[in-house]
Amino acid sequence: MKKRKLKFLLVILLGFSLNLAAAPQNLPDMGSSASRSLNKAEERELGEAIMQDVYRRLPVIYDPYIQYYIQQLGDWLVSFSPDRGEPYTFFVVGDSTINAFALPGGFIGINSGLFMHTQTESELAGVMAHEIAHVSQRHIARMFEKAEQMSLPTLAAILGSIAVAAAASPAVGGGLLAGTLAGSQQMYIDFTRHNEEEADRAGIDILAQAEYDPNGMPAFFGRMGQANRYNDDPSSIPEFLRTHPVTSKRMADAQNRANRYPKPNLRDDLGYRLIKERIRVQTSTPSQVIALYKSRLDGNPAFRYGYALALTQERSYNDALRQLDILLKASSDNVLFRMAKADVLIKKKQYDEALTIAHQTYRIYPGNEAILYDLANMYLTAERPLQTKDILNDYLKRKRANNPRLYQLLAQAYRDLDQQKPAMLAQADYYTEMGNYKSAIQQLNRARITEPVNEYQTAMIDAKVDALEYELAQQEKMRGFLGR
């Protein structure tokens, strides 16, 4: 048990970065021996336990369009990896530091700061492909084997560094960790370097097969390294470079790998550019970005879109509508333009016109959960919970939602309709999808004794509670390993 506990502690070191955002940075296909150390189900369980802390401590961006974009892009890349068909969860953290991280079990986060520093969708996809490769090549499992060669005092010191970092800053914790590992942990430095190079190679292959420019990865890494080549202040080096060190050999190898592939046709990355501006507006104050946008509107629909969003935040609704109408005149079927206009109209309380636009957009793109979330929320704002309930149930009875917050909206609709029992059941589904099994069980137990009570539904609730109690026990076991 001691050995197994130490293994789990090490995974947290590698996968749970010093500021909850630097993760298992280091991973290759190490063969079946790694699989014997930690199987994929255990990795997923560990990742789910860590994500509870991520949701509590990090400013995860829940904007439906940002969330939908990053998940769709990630799913597309995973489909060209050895993990095709495996569940992955992608999310954006509202943090200006330049970083990306992969946690056990396929949970991959991208800081808004890194997103904003990419210049093309291929660069963003390159970073994500690199993190996917860390997971798919089983590097976390391989680290477990290395953990057995680390002494208990060293592990204890590492965990102390993490605790300090959580209370102070990544730079402080990073310095303590570096001091702890210095000298006696050269094998980990070598292992990390090998994993980074392996993730580069596997990631570039994923990138090329997904029809992105394979030069996107070395271009971004190289630009970050070049910008900091004379930086002798460790605290000012981007977190991404501290966790993904760039060397000339690594860059040369990555560039050579990318050059093996033919250059693909240029992709229309308007969606990427629009989401980038959406992130900019959400992580800045309107006054900061309005002046920026005013000077860059000519011929740039992404900046005009950002300008409209910033004007909306400033409650300059008529000005925002003028900008959106210009965009819609050139691209009448663009989802983000249409839904941004609907949002402005909702804020102006022109509910019928707003809902007509939103509903028509959803009919054109019926599988888009971002539109569905927005439309359902607009119905609630317009005090039409029955429509929210109907449209969400129609979708959720056919498939499980990728966006857990759809269940939260459904619960709110039921509460507005004074239907408390189904509201509790929908809220339980939300907590379940978020991995908050304790709260889900509480909701189900409340629903069990809430009228109307029938034998069939009670049996269904009891079965769900039994399943969740098992999941909760597994999660608590993992949290025990983490010392939480």
Q: Rounded distance, CA 143 to CA 134, Å?
A: 12
Given the residues 42, 131, 213, 433, the one annotated as active site: 131
- Residue-by-residue DSSP string for 344-390: HHHHTT-HHHHHHHHHHHHHHSTT-HHHHHHHHHHHHHTT-HHHHHH
Query: What Å distances lie between residue 219 and 120, 195, 270, 294, CA to CA?
Result: 10, 19, 20, 30
Residue carrying structure tokens 């990896």: 81
Given the residues 63, 200, 277, 374, the one annotated as active site: 200
Helix (H) / strand (E) containing 479? helix 455-481
Helix (H) / strand (E) containing 452? none
Q: Beta 107-111 vs 89-93: how paired, if at all?
A: parallel
Q: Is 145 a catalytic residue?
A: no
Residue type, 50: I
Q: CA torsion 115→83→42→33, rounded to 10°?
A: -120
Angle at 181 between CA 177 and CA 185, to 5 degrees: 150
Q: Is 131 a catalytic residue?
A: yes
Which tokens hold the place of 367?
């599988």
Q: Rounded distance, CA 279 to CA 157, Å?
A: 37
Query: What Å distances lie between residue 335 and 122, 143, 357, CA to CA?
Result: 22, 43, 10
The catalytic residues are 131, 200
